[in-house]
Amino acid sequence: MPTYDYVCRECDYKFEEFQSMTDELLSNCPKCDGSVRRLIGGGTGLIFKGSGFYITDYKNSRGSADSQAKSSSTPKAKTETKSEKKKESSKVSD
């Protein structure tokens, strides 16, 4: 059953109500008995909890972007290819 948000039109009291989708809308504020309107919410993301789901599925990818930015800012040592090594070794023997 979903939770709906309501706000009073007279006293601006905001509250939540846990009700079925088939229930009628609330019409009165529990504080001042004024008229209320239901707010439209974006809902929440689907989260699976329990065995069989991994915490790493919900990790923030922001941390990995930070570590990539740090590693790209540090200069990397040049790695030589096999052909470059052969050229250098032939120069030394000449």
Domains (range + CATH), the chain: 1-41 (2.20.28)
pTM for the full model? 0.45
Q: Is pLDDT of 20 > 60?
A: yes
Kindly tell me the number of DSSP H helices and DSSP E strands found in the chain. Answer: 2, 3
Q: What share of the chain is helix, strand, coil (3-state, %, to 5)?
A: 30, 15, 55
Q: 23 is written with which tokens?
A: 């229930």
pLDDT tens string 23-77: 999 999 999 999 999 998 766 666 666 666 666 666 666 655 555 555 555 555 5
